[in-house]
Structure 1
Amino acid sequence: MAAEDDIPESGGETPVDEAEEVAELAVVPGAPVERHNPLGHNVTLLSAINLNFGQILGHGIFSMGGAVLGSVGSVGLYFTAWILAPLLAYVGMAVYTELSSYFPLRSGGPVVYLEQEYPRPKFFVPIVFAITSTLLAYNGVTAIVFAQYWLLLFDLPITATSQTVVAIVVTTITSAIALLSTKWSLRIVNVFSVLKVLSLAFVVITGIVVLLGLTHIQDPYKHFQHPWAGSNWDLNGLANTFVKTNTAVVGWHNAFYVLGEVRSPDPVRVVSRAGYISLSIVAVLYLLTNIAYIAVVPPEEIKASGQLVAALFFQHVFGDGAAAKIMPIMVTASCFGNMIAVVVGSARVQREIARQGLLPWPAFWATSRPFGTPSAPIIFKWFLSILIMLLLPAKDAFSFMIDLSSYPFLVFGAAFTFGIWRLRARREKLGLERSKYQMLDVLIVIYLVWHAFLLIMPMLPPQGGQGDVSFWYGTYCVVGMGILLVSALFYYVYIVYLPKRGGYEIIEEIEDLPDGARNARLVKRHKVASDEPTEDQPLLS
């Protein structure tokens, strides 16, 4: 962290290799490249690793054990799910690394990739992604887990009202931190990331002590003796399980969202290394943590634990005394750092969307005033998170928000993975060299099959007809696809139907803002029969 004190909080330029610069500019038009990034270059390898840790090490490993084991039924399938998720995340890392190598000056991740891969129909894919991302830009899942463990820490009853109030308060505090300073946000994320790793290491060491027979836990190996007994091979349940374990490791790509803010001649190398380092450490910690859970807590108790499996672990080992309070402290600290990291990364995605001109008032969304941070995306994310927490039933909020926030983005994930082949073909036509980060085609196929499985299987009826929420099991699939359809309808009305009726076309203009930000905006250009010049009129601003 000390090395980051010398990094300027804003301004500065990131040098890039000449070949990378050609690759950046020899692509289809989109949001303009910002040579002078108004958000600064505060991201180093250390802060990139910690940004990933900050998002990965949130609530997942501390809260999803009950839902996962309840869905798959057996210890064998439980470990299969937790091992498979990081393995496929390594494939995803290769996808992000190759795609980011084509646009080394652009933050935002998927919003950039989709913009460049699918230029036709004009504006279609970027607009659908923009609206979907905006409508699902909530941060309530981690806040709910924070609230439950916070209430547990102080022996307060976990009611719908108390859970919602605490979740709203912590969402407000973490959003305010991200709003006021990127530099201090990264410092806080760094501190909490270290605490998170130490927390998991403590769980792992405790589990090892249990397995060595040095505690009062009797026969810690008995829960591993028949690992496949009770396995539930229901495809719907397996898909929902993999969605949750996949969500638990999501965050390995968080640093890719701030690629334009990396202080390095080769920002792609920095964020790629950060991804592999953070994911590898997390994969080992997750495996050992789950071994500790199974060694200590009977599987039936884990299935009934809801989001409190970590608390059960410590109660079994240390009893109900003061030592059992250690885990709630660790989980709340983990969630707190996670929420700041997620806001920092996702706000950059929203800002990049705005810079494409795809949201109303793009200058408002893209500006870094008054604190040198993407203030409008942060405030909007805070508002949407609060709204969702108030509208959803408290008992269903956790599972539903996880599943809904993941489902539409599986579509986009499949789209930009397939789009790698489109970009390669376009670059070959332009006479550009292959990316030094180009991945194997077989890995692209594996990643596409994985996405197809997670998209299709949840639509099949589960055994018994009941999912992990109190309402219809497929609600999140329908709502997720509905959001995509609404986004497509918006595109058709504003980009196709109204221009055709009004006799105008939609074009992009570049706008330079006083703080150094640059964004595109969509404007109307009226078609006339004569050759007289026409005036462009803003469409969404």
Structure 2
Amino acid sequence: MSPTLIPSISTESDVYSHLSAKERRKYHKLSSLSCMSLIVNKMIGTGIFSTPSIIFQYCQGSVPIYLTLWLVGGIIIMSGLLIFLEFSLNLPFKNGGEKNYLLRSFPNPNGLIGCIYSFQMVLLGFSSGNSFAFGKYILFAFGYNSKSDTDWNVKIVGVLCISACIWLHIKYPNQGTQLFNFLGVFKILILVLIIFIGGLAFAGVIDVEDGTPVAPTLVASEIHQSPYSISIALLEIIYSFKGWENANYVLSEVSDPYKVLTVVAPLAVVVTVLLYFFVILSYLIVIPKEEMMNSGVLVAGIFFTKIFGENWASRVLPILIALSNLGNVLVVSFAHGHVNQELAKSNYLPFSDYFTNLNHSLILHWFITVLVLVAPPSSAIYEFVVNLYIYPGTWINILLTLGLIYLKCNSDKERWGVDQQQIQSNLQYQSIEDEENIEEDGPSSYYPDDADTSFTDFDSLLSQPLSSSKRQFSTPGLFIGIFLLANIFLAVLPFIPPPSGSSAAKSPIPYWVFPTVGTGVLVAGGVWFYARDWYNSFAYRKYGTGSPEVKYEEHL
């Protein structure tokens, strides 16, 4: 029996109230700590240990510009969080994240926006990058230094990493949750340690090895700043914060969604952003400017070497980073497995009936991750594919922001945030008959939507008012504008030719391939929608099989 498939029953529902204390324990969901860990583990991967030096190079060593860009990145992320907060508090508390928000914003043609989103989420929502990094740093900690991104030893360890995570989620879901809870706290403590060491170094308590740290030279650099380089630096910073939306993907699994959305998620994001900023300051305090400019991809390695010496840093640091990667793989596979299942329930995927089983949705995530890990023949192609998953998300964010603007401008027509007392319920109720099925067949066979993947929540939502109106929230227009402009910038910039002589210009893959392929994945989702509709209609007319049209989830 697969414990992962225990159904979602609201702790406020009639069904839950009739359960014994022993039975109720089955339906205990993700706690506040677990939700915070979902966000922290995804946001804190390898990036904070490596990309700060690369971003510093793009800023050409200008500390004021460098710190300003990190602050700007934090403001953009918080703007996105507020937009997601408004969507989530005005819609059902259910799995799916952006799928639900897009469906509410663009209900017609029915199914199109869901198919577009599903292609981006399933095909590009893999864990290959952090699985590979886990293998690389674990082997390095034991004396094996990989010289290539196509090293099969590293890939094999990466495959073992994602396989173990998926197995844990399927076989021992509670232990999987406990593990990523631990790793979330562990990551925060590591960043706090770096900040503490930086503070001691700044106060003169710890002597830093040779070199003049960057921080004392907090004057603006007179070096001419390239607008393109500054733009790329901001791009890298925003990408390094990826993961702030992770809890929104699994709201059906959360014990107190309102608390998570209004307290836990903002707290997790704010804490992580502040930790990032003070970690950056610690790097600047300890590491000389020349080394910061030329440290490559592991600035944390130089930081720990300056404090503890070469031997300690060369062995302990890779293990710390590998554990950070493991936490990322655990929470991404957990969240994306649930999103895959939700997309299948809404009939957006090929073979949707099969993937309504959560175990199968988790295995789908495993398959895509392993494919991306082992298939690319060269390091350049591998890096291209791994980084590709970020870009289409910018177009999704643009659509979401435009959708929210439309809903707010047409609030009466769309019933968006108008009636304070009749807010649609975000609780999913199950009937007593469903519970009897659970008792009889066991949780592994319970799929409330297997019989009809075209289910809709709309009618039930209208009939379930909430007693409290405190969930109402409206994002200030300033933050909507910031997030929209930032994502337009992120979407357009990769199409601009890089300056000659830059690393991007020297890449074996032309600069325009990255945004073109990323956009093409979204277009492929639209093609799938129309091709599927045409085929169903053709098969029905020609052979009398199926139905004349594909049925999708109705708008929320």
- TM-score (norm: length of structure 2): 0.78
Matched, 1:322 2:306: no
- The structural deviation recorded for 1:113 is 0.9
Structure 1 residue 175 corresponds to structure 2 residue 166: yes
1:364 corresponding residue in structure 2? 354
Per the alignment, residue 497 of structure 2 pairs with: 461
For residues 352 and 222 of structure 2, the distance between their equivalents in structure 1, rounded to whole angstroms, comes to 54
Aligned to 1:29: none
Q: Residue 117 of structure 2 aligns to which amino acid in structure 1?
A: F
Once structures 1 and 2 are overlaid, which stretch shifts more, 118-127 or 425-434? Answer: 425-434
> SS of the residue aligned with 2:109?
coil
After TM superposition, the structure 1 = structure 2 runs for residues 374-393 of structure 1, keeping only pairs within 5 Å, are 374-392=358-376
Q: How does 1:116-265 map to 2 (within 5 A)?
A: 116-160=104-148, 161=151, 162-213=153-204, 214-218=206-210, 220-222=212-214, 224-225=216-217, 228-229=220-221, 233-264=225-256
Alpha-carbon offset, residue 388 of structure 1: 1.4
Structure 2 residue runs of 5 or longer lacking an equivalent are: 14-23, 421-470
Q: CA deviation at 1:96?
A: 0.8
Shift of 1:71: 2.8
CA contact (8 A) 2:215 2:281 kept: no
3-state secondary structure, aligned to 2:390: helix
Which secondary structure state, in structure 2, belongs to the residue aligned with residue 463 of structure 1? coil
Superposed displacement of residue 485, structure 1: 2.1
Q: In structure 2, how many angstroms separate the alpha carbons of the residues matched to 1:172 and 1:482? A: 29
How many angstroms does 1:142 deviate by? 1.5
Shift of 1:390: 2.1
Deviation (angstroms), 1:317 = 2.2
Q: Which of residues 334, 353, 360 is equivalent to 2:343?
A: 353
How many matched pairs? 478
The one-letter amino acid of 2:389's match is: S
State the shift of 1:414 in Å: 0.9
* Cα 1:14/1:418, change in 2 over 3 Å: farther
Matched, 1:273 2:259: no
Equivalent in the alignment of 2:459? none
Report the Cα distance in structure 1 between the residues aligned to 2:231 and 2:33, rounded to whole angstroms. 34
Q: Match of 1:423?
A: 407
**Residue identity (%):** 22
CA distance in 1, matches of 2:494, 2:222: 21
Match of 1:20 in 2: none
8 Å Cα contact 2:301-2:313 kept in structure 1: no
Per-residue deviation at 1:314?
Answer: 1.2
> What residue in structure 2 maps to residue 433 of structure 1?
419
The separation in 2 between residues aligned to 1:354 and 1:182, in whole angstroms, is 21
Query: Which stretch has the larger CA shift, 164-173 or 123-132?
Result: 164-173
Q: Shift in Å at residue 406 of structure 1?
A: 1.1
Q: Does the CA-based 8 Å contact 1:52-1:278 persist in structure 2?
A: yes
Instruction: Tell me the CA shift for residue 95 of structure 1.
Output: 0.7
Work out the CA distance in 2 between the residues paired with 1:298 and 1:67.
15
Q: CA deviation at 1:493?
A: 2.0
Q: Equivalents in 1 of 2:94, 2:193: separation in Å?
A: 38
Asked if 2 retains the 8 angstrom alpha-carbon contact of 1:504 and 1:525, the reply is no
Aligned residues of 1:259 and 1:271 also touching (Cα < 8 A): no
Structure 1-normalised TM-score? Answer: 0.80
1:294 and 2:284 matched: yes
Question: Structure 2: how far apart are the matches of 1:422 and 1:41?
Answer: 37
CA distance in 1 between partners of 2:112 and 2:58 (Å):
37
Q: Structure 1 residues 394, 202: closer, same or farther in 2, change over 3 A? A: farther
- 1:114 Cα deviation after fit: 0.8
| Aligned partner letter, 2:510 | W
The change in CA–CA distance for 1:111 and 1:393 in structure 2 (over 3 A counts) is same
Which range is displaced more, 223-232 or 212-221? 223-232
Query: How much has 1:430 moved relative to structure 2?
Result: 6.1
Aligned amino acid, residue 363 of structure 2: I
Contact 2:8 2:252 in 1 (8 A): no
**Which whole-Å deviations, capped at 9, do the CAs of 1:167-188 have from their partners, x for residues lacking one?**
2222222222223233222111
Query: Any unmatched runs of 5+ in structure 1?
Result: 1-7, 17-36, 368-373, 506-522, 527-535
The structural deviation recorded for 1:389 is 2.1
Contact 2:36-2:268 at 8 Å conserved across structures: yes
Q: Quick one: distance in 2 between partners of 1:254 and 1:116?
A: 19
Residue type of the alignment partner of 2:547: R
The equivalent residue for 1:334 is 324
Between the aligned partners of 2:95 and 2:224, the Cα distance in structure 1 is: 41
Bigger mean CA deviation after superposition, 293-302 or 100-109: 293-302
Amino acid at match of 1:446: I
Partner of 2:54: 67
Residue in structure 1 matching 2:32, options 45, 54, 64: 45
Q: Is the 8 A contact 2:43 2:241 kept in 1?
A: yes
Match 2:527 to one of 489, 496, 521: 489
Give 1:257 deviation, angstroms: 1.0
State whether residues 14 and 262 of structure 1, in contact with CA within 8 Å, keep that contact through their aligned partners in structure 2. Answer: no
Residue aligned with 2:547, SS: strand
1:191 positional shift = 0.7
Structure 2 Cα separation of the partners of residues 408 and 281 of structure 1: 27
Deviates more, 1:219-228 or 1:132-141: 219-228
SS at match of 1:138: coil
* Aligned: 1:95 with 2:92: no
Contact 1:71 1:232 in 2 (8 A): no
Asked whether 1:410 is paired with 2:394, we answer yes
Distance in 1 separating the partners of 2:512 and 2:313: 41
* Aligned equivalent of 1:516: none
43 and 71 in structure 1: CA distance in 2 versus 1, 3 angstrom threshold: same
1:451 to 472, 487, 490: 487
